[in-house]
Amino acid sequence: MSDISNNNGPSGAQIIIKDLWKVFGRDPKRVLRKELREKSKDEIQKKTGCILAMRNINLEIQKGQFYILMGLSGSGKSTLIRNLIRLVNPTSGNITINGENITKMNHDQLLQFRRKTFGMVFQHYGLLPHLTVLDNAAYGLKVRGLPKGERYAKAMETLETVGLKGWEDYYPVSLSGGMQQRVGLARALTNEPEILLMDEPFSGLDPLIRRQMQDELVELQDKLQKTIVFVTHDLHEALKLGDRIAIMRNGELVQEGTPEEIVTKPADAYVEEFVRDASPAKVLTAGSIMEPPKVLLYAWEGPKTALTLLRSNKRNAAFVVDKNHILLGVAYDKALEKLLEEQKKPDKIPQAILKKITTTTEDTILEDLFPIIKAAPYPLPVVDEKGKLMGVVTTDQIFESISPLEGVNHD
């Protein structure tokens, strides 16, 4: 496929969408003319009879990212995900995936590319009712021509991954909606796709099963690290699942960013209304609100220096770090005083007198901090994967951060 290859460019994105338009109707490319391309969706339909589904979409999706496309009905989100696999062909623009421009592929090239790259999960399961759960899960491998033993082995492994071990000989009619959706997910994953496309897969499930499926998908993504493009109209689902969110309206991309950016800095009144009921506690993280500790002790300073620093700052305890800023624990004034009274004057604060403490990480959402910080008698330290102290979070910081947002800038 060297004739259709295209470099990803400096961003290194796995999926690059550039200047993408989709217009349904007779002679759709006339909508791209200068006199029409800036008109509203309604004006275009009135003047031409054409329906504008997507207007000049530009976005990039990184490998391993959980990317959310969201918007109300008619916003263009489902059209966009179908363009990614060319179930719907764009009117204009380019889609580059893994360095290959799929908008220039012929039928055979596209078919081959789909089979090796994509897995698809849609709202209405798409299961074959006359096949068992195992045969449904293995169906994609059968189409690819893999031997029966090999495809069944792969399918069984995937069914176990999605929690359906023991159900392989049942038929879809015997399964609940949530279980049928798991079969659909297993079928997509059995092909070992690089990219998983999911178009409102949980919208037909009752709320309890839907939350359970969301939790399971989060856990599964943590293990598999697939690139997932997920369509939803449910903001809470988007905030729970997404690394990044693109909000669409009338075929246009209104705002794109992290869940935190979408909630705390809505681009306009439409997005602000969209996120009005979203709880900041579900998207803000410890890393976004942490501050430097008011007092910090260094292990090499010695107990006398540490005690002097505590007293001068009117504190009875402080965090202690080593020369690499690794958190060692908490030193209390009473323990330091006792050490000095015993005429033990080590040249550094001894590890034996430090109290071990609960820590959190920068990506922990505030909602998960409530029970931890409530029980802690001191600010909660935020550390990285090596134990390096990055900052601290207090109860006051949390409550200030989740207060209703005011003064949204619409510039």
List pLDDT tens digits, range 281-317. Answer: 777 888 888 899 989 999 888 888 889 999 999 989 9
Give residue 11's pLDDT band: very low, low, confident or very high (50, 70, 90).
Answer: low
**Is residue 2 scored above 50 in pLDDT?**
no
Least confident of 209-218, 238-247, 324-333: 209-218
* pLDDT the model gives residue 344: 67
Least confident of 153-167, 223-237, 267-281, 304-318: 267-281
Give residue 402's pLDDT band: very low, low, confident or very high (50, 70, 90).
Answer: low
Give residue 12's pLDDT band: very low, low, confident or very high (50, 70, 90).
Answer: confident
Q: Which of 37-41, 63-67, 142-146, 214-218 tops mean pLDDT?
A: 63-67
CA-to-CA distance for 31 and 52, rounded, in angstroms? 8
Token pair recorded at residue 21: 């338009």
Tell how strand 252-257 and strand 92-97 pair up: unpaired
In contact, 16 and 60? CB cutoff 8 Å: yes
**Is residue 204 scored above 80 in pLDDT?**
no
Q: Which of 88, 118, 115 is nearest to 103 (CA)?
A: 88
Question: Is residue 346 helix, strand or coil?
Answer: coil
* pLDDT the model gives residue 346: 72
**Is residue 123 scored above 50 in pLDDT?**
yes
In contact, 68 and 246? CB cutoff 8 Å: yes
Instruction: Please tell us whether the domain made up of 287-400 is placed in CATH 3.40.50.300.
Output: no
CA-to-CA distance for 298 and 305, rounded, in angstroms? 9
In contact, 200 and 227? CB cutoff 8 Å: no
Mean pLDDT, rounded, of the chain: 86
List pLDDT tens digits, range 333-346. Answer: 999 888 888 876 67
CA-to-CA distance for 310 and 296, rounded, in angstroms? 9
CA-to-CA distance for 291 and 122, rounded, in angstroms? 43
* pLDDT the model gives residue 410: 38
Token pair recorded at residue 323: 């020369």
Token pair recorded at residue 308: 């002097």
Q: Is 67 exposed, middle or buried (0-12, 13-18, 19+ CB in 10 A)?
A: buried
Least confident of 192-196, 219-223, 280-284, 327-331: 280-284
- Adjacent-strand bridge partners of 23: 52
